[in-house]
Structure 1
Amino acid sequence: MVFKCQEDSFLKEFQTTIVSCDYATLDLGGEDNNSSEKRKLRGFNVVCEDTILFPEGGGQPCDYGTINGQQVRSVVRKGSTAVHFVESSSSFEEGAEVRQRLDWSRRLDHMQQHSGQHLITALFDREFKYDTTSWSLGSSVSYIQLSTPHLISRESLDLIERQANDLIREGRPVSVVLVDPEAALEFQDARAPRGLPKDHEGLARVVRIEGIESNMCCGTHVNDLSQLQCIKLLYAEKVKTNILVYFVVGERAMRKLGELFQREQQLTVALKGGAQQHLDLVQKLQQNVKSTRKSFQQLLKDFATAEAERLENLTKSMRPKYFVLHRRDGIEVDFINTFLRNAPEEIFYFLTVSEGISAGSSAKGHMVLRGEPALVQEMGPKFLELLEGKGNGKENNFQGKINNLANLQECTALLESHFKPKKSTVEPTAASAS
């Protein structure tokens, strides 16, 4: 069946009759819900005598709109019928007259991307003999998949883009004809990459761009290429043995330009330099960050060495039984390694480094215990459980990755309970650095 939306892609309102209405639910999520979480909608699966709301097919998502003011959240084709999921608390009576209204902005967007895809596909075939094996109409950017292992250069993309926009300015007509698939003479010039659906009945729709190509397709399309406004080929990337070419058409190209200009203005303010300087300024910033990080790492190592030497310089009778040190300057395990290389052996050490977040917050980091083997193997698993980490140890060393520093004080309390320290000139909990 050819639906009303396929006969006239520009029809925005339509009166029709309800054929059937059955209670149904729909899991709505992703881009349609602006959320990664799905929610279950309650409503009815409604079949009308005809529809201006396109059912998903041919790589084109379904239309949205309303039936008697009730939101249509999905339209799917089942054989020769279109099933509309209508979010509603009340059903529709069989035989009732209803008015369908189309979400025109969504339809126009889909028509521009779909007709643009046909044009790009035809030009890649004409210029390079690259066959389009599939395509995707994404929420913001679309792509075609070309059957070639060769990465397409920017020059080749610019060539196709230039030819496409020349044809858009010419306003080449786009027409839809119905042909008999069994009639070879009528059907022979129509591209049919996926063939007819198994449940197809009757005549086949062929979309023709004058002088460019004929392509069997069930989707909705513009009337002439000028309605595409413009095409921009963004980039190409290799995926296994194929190439994906990403593109935007019409209103999407305008939105993309607006987004890029806004981002350019934000970068100009942040980098304190115009667009022509952005690359140089970012490279300079990266070099400064790299140099600063290198200096910071050296300072941490110097601090670790100084802390270890402070303990080493104490007489054995003055040294604490255990020592706790926490750094929140970033996950730098070298800090712990440097400290332990220079620290006296007989002290039990509980050391952590983590991201720059307070000890009472969730944070990822690294933990090391070193000391008497039996105590290390006893405390290690307990500390990992308290700090939500994973790790293991051998003999006098235990280490692991941790995810939550909120229980650091509980870990320290376990050590205090074990050692029951006495007052000395150096506090037994030693330094808790930040």
Structure 2
Amino acid sequence: MVFKCQEDSFLRQFTTKVLSCEAATLDWIPPGENNVKKLQGYNVICEDTILFPEGGGQPCDYGQLNGQPVRSVIRKGAEAIHFVETSTRFEEGDVIKQSLDWNRRLEHMQQHSGQHLITALFDSEFKYDTTSWWLGSDTSYIELDTKHLISRESLDLIERRANELIREGRVVTVQLEDPEIAKEFQDARAPRGLPKDHVGLARVVRIEGVESNMCCGTHVSNLSQLQCIKLLYAEKSKNAVNVHFVVGERVLRKLGEIFQRELQMNLTLKGGPTQHLELIQKLQLNLKSSTKAFQKLLKDVAISEAEKLENTPQPYPKYYCLHRKDGIEPDFINTFQRNAPEGIFYFLTVSENSSNNGKGLMVLRGSENEVKKFGEIFMELLEGKGNGRDTNFQGKFNNGSKIPECNAILEKHFNGDKIKK
């Protein structure tokens, strides 16, 4: 089955009839969001459609049926099932008007046709087969059947050749072929073959003088409509290499995003783009030096706290609490413990100075029974996990706001009525 959207990918409105309509729900993630929404509506099947059903690595189109939003289109055999978010039922035989979200269609056509062009060039230049591809919401990539990481020079070669063909305005055509008898069909690239439920003629997308590729997707009619192609980078993925790219409007959008970040970097670093690397390296060196000095200062503070405790008049207190919010620095606790006197129960924490309660590290030291008991109690209060052995317990926590409650428990245990297990 060839749908109207595949006959004419530039058609934005279309009138057709409803064949069936059934109540349905859809788990839908709106573009640009992460949360799933549970939608109520109807699955509508029409005689034909200009809304592309998901397939061939290309997401489905969005649009409207009689002004009601279409949130999903999937293909089932020779039928396209439209999920329409509406409380109004469509009746069999109704004549309806389909409207297309053109911006989404254009973006998908540019990325998909661009993928065909990039795939063909990697094959002709390096004999690398494309085993799959992914059309993402921001960037896309092709998976190449090679273990060798592709150099920037090779990416630039493919990119340069692709843009030359775009400037030449090579024609892109779609032909219908009978896979059983058409001789021309044998020359078409078809790495995954036809779907098992495919019915009727097969579509072959031909880029003039470049390649023929069996495909169900929507495509431009001339490479000039791609505007331009930018290969971003290549990365290894198991036994393959993924090449990430953007085409057409996405190139312009990506350039705009990069330029805005550049302006923000100029203000933050107080220097232009040519100085960014030097200024960032200078900041990293300063940060490394400051961090080293800060850690030394914290160790000095830990030693000072331990000496102050050791120099207090005896008998020593039964327990001692020390809490720092300078960051999660285990060396502070370790240094304190090496210099602190024995015979005292210690409750020590280092945590982030955060408005949302703060994460941190906790250490208990004392008698084996008390360490085990308070370790379990404190971890529950502080929403953390930890374990202990003999006279020491260590854990990580997520809610530092409960530390005063832990202090109160120790005060009651050592200087008042002992709490029950």
The two structures have a TM-score, normalised by structure 1, of 0.94
Give 1:432's aligned residue: none
Unaligned runs of 5+ in 1: 422-434
What's the CA shift string for 1:116-156, capped at 9, x where partnerless? 00000000000000000100010010000000111000000
Contact 1:16 1:48 in 2 (8 A): yes
Q: How many residues align?
A: 416
Equivalent position amino acid for 1:298 in 2: K
Alignment partner of 1:341 out of 335, 338, 342? 338
Decide whether the 8 Å contact of 1:149 with 1:242 is kept in 2.
yes
Distance between the aligned counterparts of 2:36 and 2:407, measured in 1?
43
Within 2, Cα distance between the matches of 1:6 and 1:193? 20
Which residue does 1:381 correspond to in 2? Answer: 376
CA distance in 1 between counterparts of 2:184 and 2:167 reads: 29
Q: Distance in 1 between matches of 2:221 and 2:371?
A: 77
Aligned to 1:328: 325
Separation in structure 1 between the aligned mates of residue 375 and residue 40 of structure 2, nearest angstrom: 52
Selected match of 2:301 from 300, 303, 310: 303
User: CA offsets, 1:58-108, max 9 Å, x none?
Assistant: 111111111110001111111111111111111111111111110000000
Which among 292, 316, 321 is matched to residue 294 of structure 1? Answer: 292
* Local SS of the residue matching 1:362: coil
The answer on whether the counterparts of 1:27 and 1:41 sit within 8 Å (CA) in structure 2 is yes
Distance in 2 separating the partners of 1:394 and 1:185: 76
Displacement of 1:186 after TM fit? 2.3
Q: Is the 8 A contact 1:324 1:349 kept in 2?
A: yes
**Aligned equivalent of 1:22:** 22
Q: Where do residues 21-420 of structure 1 align in structure 2 (5 Å cutoff)?
A: 21-29=21-29, 32-317=30-315, 319-357=316-354, 361-420=356-415
Cα distance in 2 between the residues matched to 1:375 and 1:37: 45
Q: Secondary structure at the match of 2:266?
A: helix
Amino acid at match of 1:393: G
**Once the 2 structures are TM-superposed, how far is the Cα of residue 413 of structure 1 from its aligned partner?**
1.1
Contact 1:180-1:186 at 8 Å conserved across structures: no
Which consecutive unaligned segments of at least 5 residues does structure 2 have?
417-421
Deviation by residue 1:251-295 (Cα, 9 ceiling, x = unmatched): 000000000000011011001000001111111111111110110
Post-superposition shift, 1:33? 4.7
Q: How far off is 1:355 after superposition?
A: 1.0
State the Cα deviation string for residues 38-71 of structure 1 (Å, max 9, x = none): 1111111111111111111111111111111000
Q: Secondary structure, in 3 states, of the residue corresponding to 1:130?
A: coil
CA distance in structure 2 between the partners assigned to 1:419 and 1:94 by the alignment: 80
Post-superposition shift, 1:184?
4.9
Distance 1:198 1:378, change over 3 A: closer
- Structure 1 residues 389-423: Cα deviation after superposition (integer angstroms, max 9, x where no partner): 211222222221111112111111111112228xx
1:242 CA displacement: 0.3
Q: Distance in 1 between matches of 2:138 and 2:338?
A: 54
**Are the aligned partners of 1:206 and 1:217 in contact in 2 as well (CA < 8 Å)?**
yes
Letter aligned with residue 26 of structure 1: L
User: Is contact 1:20-1:94 (8 Å) kept?
Assistant: yes
| Aligned sequence identity (%) | 70
Cα drift, residue 315 of structure 1: 3.2
Find the aligned partners of 1:294 and 1:301 in 2 and give their Cα distance. 11
Alignment partner, residue 3 of structure 2: 3
Partner SS for 2:114: helix
Inter-partner Cα distance in structure 1 for 2:14 and 2:45: 14
What is the rounded CA distance, in whole Å, between the counterparts of 2:243 and 2:5 in structure 1? 29
Greater displacement, 306-315 / 12-21: 306-315
Query: TM-score scaled to structure 2, two decimals?
Result: 0.97
Distance 1:205 1:333 in 2: 64
1:324-347 CA-to-partner distances (Å, cap 9, x unmatched) read: 110000001110111111111122
Report the CA distance shift for 1:177/1:33 in structure 2 as closer, same or farther (over 3 A).
closer
**RMSD over aligned Cα atoms:** 1.2
Q: Which amino acid aligns with 2:407?
A: T
